[in-house]
Amino acid sequence: MVAAFVNHQRTKPSQSPSLKSSESIKTVCAVTQHPDTCFTDVVSVNSGNNAVNPMVIFNLTLQLAVTELTNVSSLSKTLISNSNDLRTGSELRDCANLFDDAVSQLSRSVESMCGESVLTMEKVGDLKTWISAPMTDQETCVDGLEEMGSTAVDEVKMKVQRSSVCMSNSLAILGHMDEVLEKFGMHLH
């Protein structure tokens, strides 16, 4: 069954856009495991204070996740060029491939949301898969580096941690989209 959300957004005319945006971001980020980080991150990229719709806020969290994952991918490529150890270099190349795939998956999520005003249950399922797969790719890379005893593991872990938090926030918002939309007077049908 395909369900779409219907926009019945309630607004308070007396609120300034930035205050309303801030409140909206806090409301959406409240469903995540890292609400403060989610809020700070979204506010930092919310140009024009236009994030009052939960779909816009969700899209911003996805874009942040892509940026962070791209940083991880770049790091692994830099580490490859600096590695003198063939085994570590090989494992880092595997990581670079995993991260490239992960960036592609997340980018697909962002592209699928561009201009979307309707979110179906099918799309929610696809998005959950497209966000979960990169998280698994990151874990696979770190596990491989740990098994090899790589000296690069701590640096990669630190970047992966940041990326994982961003993806976790997106996934949590998506997982609670029904209740988030409800708070904004919107509903999945």
Q: What is the mean pLDDT of residues 145-164?
A: 90
Residues in the chain: 189
User: Where exactly are the structural domains of the chain?
Assistant: 7-188
The DSSP symbol for 33 reads S
> Most distant CA pair in the chain: distance in Å?
63
User: Phi, psi (5° rounding) for residue 178?
Assistant: -55, -55
Q: Residue 49 has what pLDDT?
A: 66
Q: What is the mean pLDDT of residues 105-132?
A: 84
What does the alpha-carbon distance between residue 147 and residue 34 come to, in Å, rounded to a whole number? 29
Residue-wise pLDDT tens digits, 124-152: 888 999 999 999 999 999 999 999 888 88
What amino acid is encoded at 71 in this protein?
N
Query: 115, 174 in Cβ contact below 8 A?
Result: no
Q: Residue 189 has what pLDDT?
A: 53
Q: Within 10 A of 173 (CB to CB), how many other CB atoms are there?
A: 22
What does the alpha-carbon distance between residue 81 and residue 92 come to, in Å, rounded to a whole number? 10
- The answer to whether residue 164 scores a pLDDT higher than 80 is yes
Domain 7-188, CATH number (from 3.40.50.2020, 3.40.50.720, 1.20.140.40, 1.10.10.10): 1.20.140.40
The two structure tokens encoding residue 87: 């085994």
Closest by Cα among 46, 63, 58, 54 to 24 = 54
> What is the pLDDT confidence band of residue 81, given thresholds at 50, 70 and 90?
confident
User: Phi, psi (5° rounding) for residue 58?
Assistant: -60, -45
> What is the pLDDT confidence band of residue 55, given thresholds at 50, 70 and 90?
confident
